[in-house]
Amino acid sequence: MLSALLAGLLTVLAVESGPARADTWQLSGNLSVHDPTILHEGSTWWVASTGAGIPMKYSPDGRAWTQGAPIFRAELPWWRSYAPNMGANDVWAPDMHTYNGRVWMYYSVSQFGTNQSAIGLTSAPTVASGSWRDDGMVLSSAPGSQSYNAIDPDLVTDASGAPWLVFGSWFSGIYVTKIDPATMKPTGSPTRIAARSGGIEGANIVYSGGYYYLFASIDRCCQGVNSTYKIAYGRSASITGPYTDASGAAMLSGGGTVLEASHGNIIGPGGQSVVRNGSGWLIVRHYYDANNNGAPTMLISDLYFDANGWPSYTPSSGSTSSSSSTPSSSSSSSSSPPPPSSSCKVAYAVTNQWAGGFGANVTITDTGSTPINGWSLAWTFPNGQAITQIWNAADTASGSRITATNLSYDAAIPANGGSTAFGFNGTWNGANNPPTSFTLNGTTCTTA
């Protein structure tokens, strides 16, 4: 997604059997990627992403990745009719999806920071064939002509099997439009389904359990370790909305429950694509690696729907959409309590405050010489504050006493200064003083 750039690529992909289930897949090889979309075809996994000519990677198992050839070795002649000042062969946020026996790849070309953009389409009998056909322009936008930005496309099929296209980035938000299956291009007018003043893009929609789930990347990408990208979601009984988040807030009014934000060395996760994996789901996205100069890097995890039908990285007794009931060893669902921590430091910061509500970020640092694998952080709110929404952790409350525990993907905190972070929104009344003491796995931490 490179324009308020970013990537959405969510495909409702019916992939065949996948690798052995694990909450977060252990990846190796060439993992450099931005705005990835993933497809399992025969015995090969494919990933396409933002970059020169749409870079392609392939893998025999979804874990070990090799860089392949790009889709376009040179620009198509019509691209600069819609984005005359685009970067050289610079193609953004592809979406790869099989429909009616053919692989369709939507993509975008644009001038960074503007809505001088177009969505294009190419297709092939199979990815492995390499026989990509130019299917031309799908829709476009231009300053003064359209309020939306025609980038970040994602092909969706509704409950009846009819195709739709979701698209948009910043500007007036996210839209969905019906697709003519004969041309695979829009028919009728697009419907606006999400908007956010601080940035929303890279949307994709999947259908599960009677609901359409809208995933989107919010805040800012593409700034390396300074990126503030997050993955948020809402759902609706209709593909055209209205979409609301887990708290009931409308996504047209800036709502969206955060699924994943920065944690540990994983900075600014986004550009996500959620796809079927056998009887379950997986999510592929990029993040900026704080341990590698902020390089955009691929991350794949299993995705679940909890007992209330909301997306989660953590399997539970009421969760659905997993093909295995066995979580990874790092999952917070383990019945064994986390081991004690030798020494730790906690930084608690209120990041935003409004009448009756506030947002906060908590950073845990392992200041000891022993790595932490599984953590539980407890504190007491001094003024009766309460958490209403949390990300990168799970929480329980007993009065004002709060316990936050790791999720499956952020259980490990390296020794000697390693850290992880989580955030939450909460309520307050009268005063909002910070907690004065924190215990990590039973050990009292210093505060920063």
Cβ pair 233, 391 in contact under 8 A:
no
Widest CA span in the chain = 65
d(CA 95, CA 129) in angstroms, rounded, equals: 18
Cβ pair 260, 283 in contact under 8 A:
no
CA–chain centroid gap for 194, Å, is 16
Residues 6+ apart with CB under 8 A from 204: 8, 9, 10, 11, 95, 154, 156, 166, 214, 215, 216, 272, 273, 274
Cβ pair 215, 232 in contact under 8 A:
yes
- Give the Å distances, CA to CA, from 383 to 38, 352, 378, 401, 423: 47, 17, 16, 11, 19
Backbone angles phi, psi at 149, to 5 degrees: -115, 120
Nearest Cα neighbor of 270 from 254, 286, 290 is: 286
d(CA 341, CA 59) in angstroms, rounded, equals: 39
Active site residues: 35, 201
* Both tokens assigned to 350: 């209120």
